[in-house]
Structure 1
Amino acid sequence: MDERLEAEGEVAVARLAVDSGDLRHAAKHLGNALTADPGCPDAYEALGELAATVGGPAAALELFPADEPYIGSVACVAQLHAAAGQWEPALSALAAVIGAEPERPWAHVAWLADPGLPGRLSPDAVTQAVAGLSRDLPDPLPPQLRDGVRPFYALVRAAVAAHPGHTLLHAMASTLARRFGDVSDAVAWAERARQLEPGHWQAVILGTALLAAGRHEDALAVWEAEIARDPSDLDLYVDVAELYGKTGRPAEGLARLDRALAAEPDHPKAAPAALALRHAVDGGTRHLLALSDHLRAHPDHGYAAHLLGELCADQPWLGHVHRAFEASVNALHQMLAAPESARDHEIELLGSALEAPSTRLAVRMGFPRSKLDYQSVHAPDPRLAQYRVDTALWRFEGPDGLEGRPAVAPPTPRAAELVRQVAALSWSAPNAAYDHAVRLAGLSAEDLLAVCVHPPLPREDEQGAYLLGRQPEMWVRAVQTFACLGLAHHRADEPWQDSRRRALLLDLLYGPEDWTNEAAGFALLATAWADPTSREDIGARLVDRMMAVGKAWQDRDATILASLCHLVLACPWLQETFLDLATKMLAAATEYHAQPAPDEAERRAEITSALAARHTPQPPKPRSLLTRLFGRSR
């Protein structure tokens, strides 16, 4: 229903309630009207009529309980306070409403634009209103939210001009100006606040304004001077340390954090910030895992979760599903991007060499009437499992055995729908993906395995429409990833080493070369990040699979190699031998896939060199090497 029509309907009901004497019922419907449409003129007119009925706006306030949680009712309270000349509670209530829904035009009310209003308000009241609002607004304020907040900001600017000697008003106005991108005013007001009263918060706000203006060294100077004057604010040490990191001096930042941690070893921001800076210095994933372990030990440390999410966001598998490299996926993208393409088109693709069987799932998701065939299979045969496995997802049919088909029946509709709702392309960190998948713990292993090869269509939302129309392979990979994460929660009470969940995931990891190898590998990795006792075992299995696929890549393409390398590199507890090997193979595989027309022999020679470098003159087989290093075979 149209917002204005809904609001007018609520107003009509409110007027009927007034006529019948049910004034509280009328007040409720007027609140509903403003909730539907904050700019509805009939709602404000009817609110005035209601106030007249009960003896004025001050009396009408009694019809709106103080604990009323609905935003439209709070907007009515703000309007009634203003009508009664109670400007300060009116401003406070309006600020709360704007902060809750800054995208809507709550601030576009006539009384807020009254040029005489700043003179009727105490600077303390404006300061408190700005402080409350600033806590709720993002920094910076996105352009689409600014129009809704701008009338309030105009009042604040007028109040600053009317009260040039009020330090806290200038300081809080600076925070609002910064959110609007008015950095020159933000700095000027913050400097004025500090001149009037050189207190702690004035220094903090000035440094933040300078930082927003790009004056990093000036911000550091202000904050360092404040720390020297008052060393009690350990959060400011964190701000200083992170600013050193942003300006390319993480070692100096670490020195500040060491001082903070010496004063408070369990400070909720200092320890995570130190790990983030050490990651900036050292790279790799060691400090990311330490940050994840810190969060597991201190789940209430939200700053650790924030930093971990930031640092993992752009990293394959740490923050999102790894991309696919198959030639047929590239062809699928080209066909989907064609203006004349439609899902009901009959598509025929012929590949020169057999690819991961999951590729067929993606092609048929994009074009259900498609046909995908291959001319040959290159040795070593990717259809063969690395070891004997008890769980088979694929069978290979056709005259030459080149048609990969699901080896299990479809899942139950309930299981398919639950995985459809839970699957995601990205997450804040591996431990977060592991936790998110706990919703799948109640599904049977058979259903979870079946979903891997019978993926449901994407959800019917904007992202789902994009994936179906442009990148169906990413949805298939997301479904497989979360189905495997569901397996990681299967019979979670069983000790890891002898558990069915371990056996199932290793069967998928070591099965025929396919995207399900990668999905199972990530589920193993996420388990290792969540359970330190499983790390040695899981790291060994991931290295084993990576090396086997790397050896195959010397003779033919193995599109899952880069993904497996990323998984190994996310196991920083492994010996440097294997991390170095993964780094070299990843670089070679990435360069190979980045070339529009690669020299295949040359690229594979790089992989061969990387594999041989650590194991000359006679490289042992992967399994025997792992047995020697870790003391056990699979």
Structure 2
Amino acid sequence: MDERAERDERDERDERLEAEGEVAVARLAIGSGDLGHAAKHLGNALTTDPRCPDAYEALSELAAAAGGHAAALELFPEDEPCIGSIACVAQLHAAAGQWEPALSALTSVIGADPERPWAEVAWLADPALPGRLSPDAVTRAVAGLSRNLPDPLPPQLRDGVQPFYALVRACVAARPEHTLLHAMASALARRFGDTADAVTWAERAQQLEPGHTQAVILGSALNAAGRPDDALAVWEAEIARDPSDLHLYVDVAELYGKTGRPAEGLAWLDRALAAEPDHPKAAPAAFALRHAVDGGTKHLLALSDHLRAHPDHNYAAHLLNGLCDNEPWLGHVHHALEASVNVLHQMLANPETARDHEIELLGSALEAPSTRLALRMGFPRSKLDYQALPSPDPRVPQYRVDTALWEFEGLDARPAVAPPSPEAAELVRQVAALSWSAPGAAYDHAVRLAGLSAEDLLAVCVHPPLPREDEQGAYLLGRQPEMWVRAVQTFACLGLAHHRADEPWLDSRRRTLLTHLLFGPEDWTNEAAGFALLATAWSDPTTRDDIGALLVDRMMAVGKAWQDRDATILASLCHLVLACPWLQPTFLDLADKMLSAATEFHAQPAPDAADRQAEITAALKSRTTPHPRKPRSLLTRLFGRSR
């Protein structure tokens, strides 16, 4: 049995024991006549374990003690927040033969927590139940539940909903002439991936009684079945018949977009926006389709601005999240590209390598000093040395800065500031994240750090706390500690972006601190400060011209250095510049070209990669040498002749 299965079995055993304990207390309360107290404990028991047979037996005992099921129902107030109490209500209604309120209560529980086995009750599986229920009641139950279920239904939710779906299928077979039952059943079948039945039932509903709801559901079923053009034909015909539903215009437009025809979709959104300029779905969808047509980040920023102006437009947030997801800096921390980080990954993946081993790495040329933080987080007893200082010297700031995070003694880098206070380190540890829905969302999330001192935020950049003690934290510590270091630095810098937020931007302390980090020695903290500046610009349009110029300046300097030596932060800086669509096209084009060149370079395997892999062992004082390559020729065409 694997570790996850053992954990699941242990959790189930613990839940069963806890539920049985609640039932025991409930039975004591029934015996003493305290029926209200007993009802609370039975609700707790089903909340803990919806399958607990003792809880259902004790519920019958409660009903008997109360003088009947109707009296027992009075013990469970309608405003009771405990989900298990609502399951008790469903069971009591069913025991009394009140099938429709039983079904209504049960589907509300399933919809609130579909992953758990609420539907595994005997009365729901009774073959006679479809004949006891009115089709209208089943239709209402399906409609209410479907609104709370994702489409499609992920595998982990299907088992919990399956018994109810089986009932719906039986009801459809028993009521072949009920229009809306077929339509709602189609929507549920679509969520289960039963697209053939979804289409059949939706077509039957439309044949029985053509109508708007039936047309919308039929189009959705056809689309799910891989027939988008048929879906478009149904929806467009319905709009021609009844042009009042602007949400259907959005569905048509987005389906054109998903089938590679975003320009055709925009025409439908233009019609919707002409009727309602601030339509909560049409306006955001237009930005998304324009992004599909034009690419870049211009329309993503416009969508972000729209969301800031209309924070109640949840669909804008949904679209922005999807479009920024998996995009470096727009949706997550950019990955590290140093050779020593690659070696770190290889050592961590070696099952024979333990964290307490003393590891020595020898790099050919100096890398970003923050790589030491990642290496020591993965292997606390590690040492990283370098053989040579590349030229131009990456230790030299681009401009004179007064904020220094690192001090160098030869090729050795040490933090130039004392550790942060434990309270500050813990708060950053709780707030730091690897991903976010959009730059503005990361900026807003970091507001929790606004109360920390600038000194503590700077210090945490070079004294990062360990990851949180959860599943993700364990993975990061054991497989990718550098991503956690970069996340901490990113949110520390976002905290600086909120420092003295009342000061005018150009003369502010927060701008000074972030620009000093951006232009300091080449390091991951340049990238973190750059993203904090970008997130500020996305959140405050008045800062955009200034911040765009700062990011271009840093990118150009690093790009020129990259003609003669590797500069691993270049790709990241290019992504940041490309996320500033207000810049002149010349700079955006240059960033795009440099990003392509840097990506091509880092995608090439090092000549000695196989040999280096073979050298990595878990032996004490193992020694391996990451060898960077010189990118001299790749950017010469962008900057001219190399020095």
Pick the TM interval, shorter chain.
Answer: over 0.9
Amino acid at match of 1:136: N
User: What's the counterpart of residue 187 of structure 2?
Assistant: 175
Query: Are the aligned partners of 2:565 and 2:631 in contact in 1 as well (CA < 8 Å)?
Result: no
Structure 1 residues 373 and 603, CA gap change in structure 2 (3 angstroms): closer
SS in 1 for 2:525: helix
Amino acid at match of 2:591: A
CA distance in 1, matches of 2:639, 2:436: 32
SS in 2 for 1:371: strand
Aligned-residue Cα RMSD (Å) equals 1.4
Same amino acid, percent of matched pairs: 86
Amino acid at match of 1:607: L
Q: TM-score by structure 1 length?
A: 0.95
TM-superposed CA distance for 1:102, in Å, is 1.1
User: What's the counterpart of residue 25 of structure 2?
Assistant: 13
CA distance in 1, matches of 2:594, 2:327: 17
Query: Are the aligned partners of 1:223 and 1:236 in contact in 2 as well (CA < 8 Å)?
Result: yes
CA distance in 1, matches of 2:207, 2:607: 64
1:514-553 superposed matches below 5 A: 514-553=523-562
Query: Is 1:57 the counterpart of 2:44 in the alignment?
Result: no
Aligned residues: 611
Moved over 6 A (4+): 598-602
SS in 1 for 2:377: helix
CA distance in 1, matches of 2:587, 2:197: 54
Q: TM-score by structure 2 length?
A: 0.94
Q: Deviations over 1:139-182 (max 9, x none)?
A: 11111211111111111111111111111100111111111111
CA distance in 2, matches of 1:378, 1:69: 64
1:141 to 125, 133, 153: 153
Amino acid at match of 1:102: P
- In structure 1, runs of 5+ residues without a counterpart are 614-618, 620-634
Q: Deviations over 1:357-409 (max 9, x none)?
A: 00000001000000100011011110000000010000001xxx100110000
CA distance in 2, matches of 1:223, 1:476: 50
TM-superposed CA distance for 1:8, in Å, is 1.4
TM-superposed CA distance for 1:131, in Å, is 0.8
TM-superposed CA distance for 1:276, in Å, is 0.5
Query: Are the aligned partners of 2:320 and 2:438 in contact in 1 as well (CA < 8 Å)?
Result: yes
Structure 1 residues 176 and 13, CA gap change in structure 2 (3 angstroms): same
Query: Are the aligned partners of 2:565 and 2:629 in contact in 1 as well (CA < 8 Å)?
Result: no
Q: Deviations over 1:427-463 (max 9, x none)?
A: 1100000000000000000000000000000011111
Query: Are the aligned partners of 1:30 and 1:43 in contact in 2 as well (CA < 8 Å)?
Result: yes
User: What's the counterpart of residue 5 of structure 2?
Assistant: none
1:369 to 381, 396, 404: 381
Amino acid at match of 1:317: W
CA distance in 2, matches of 1:601, 1:92: 67
SS in 2 for 1:605: coil
User: What's the counterpart of residue 50 of structure 2?
Assistant: 38
TM-superposed CA distance for 1:249, in Å, is 0.7
TM-superposed CA distance for 1:608, in Å, is 2.0
User: What's the counterpart of residue 233 of structure 1?
Assistant: 245
Q: Deviations over 1:460-490 (max 9, x none)?
A: 1111111111111010000000000000000
CA distance in 2, matches of 1:359, 1:68: 53
User: What's the counterpart of residue 502 of structure 1?
Assistant: 511
User: What's the counterpart of residue 621 of structure 2?
Assistant: none
Query: Is 1:389 the counterpart of 2:401 in the alignment?
Result: yes
CA distance in 1, matches of 2:523, 2:30: 69
Amino acid at match of 1:512: P
Query: Is 1:489 the counterpart of 2:501 in the alignment?
Result: no
Query: Are the aligned partners of 2:467 and 2:484 in contact in 1 as well (CA < 8 Å)?
Result: yes
Q: Deviations over 1:3-28 (max 9, x none)?
A: 11111111111111111111111111
Query: Are the aligned partners of 2:565 and 2:630 in contact in 1 as well (CA < 8 Å)?
Result: no
Amino acid at match of 2:552: V
SS in 1 for 2:147: helix
User: What's the counterpart of residue 435 of structure 1?
Assistant: 444
Query: Is 1:27 the counterpart of 2:39 in the alignment?
Result: yes
User: What's the counterpart of residue 607 of structure 1?
Assistant: 635
CA distance in 2, matches of 1:603, 1:483: 32
SS in 2 for 1:2: helix
1:85-164 superposed matches below 5 A: 85-164=97-176
1:255 to 261, 264, 267: 267
1:593 to 602, 609, 615: 602
Which has the larger displacement, 5-14 or 377-386?
5-14
User: What's the counterpart of residue 363 of structure 2?
Assistant: 351
Which has the larger displacement, 120-129 or 59-68?
59-68
Query: Are the aligned partners of 1:581 and 1:611 in contact in 2 as well (CA < 8 Å)?
Result: no
CA distance in 1, matches of 2:337, 2:163: 51
Query: Are the aligned partners of 1:592 and 1:598 in contact in 2 as well (CA < 8 Å)?
Result: no
Query: Are the aligned partners of 1:588 and 1:603 in contact in 2 as well (CA < 8 Å)?
Result: no
Amino acid at match of 1:75: A
Structure 1 residues 469 and 602, CA gap change in structure 2 (3 angstroms): closer
SS in 1 for 2:278: coil
SS in 2 for 1:368: coil
CA distance in 2, matches of 1:143, 1:391: 51
TM-superposed CA distance for 1:58, in Å, is 2.0
Q: Deviations over 1:219-250 (max 9, x none)?
A: 11111111111110001100100000111111
1:298 to 298, 301, 310: 310
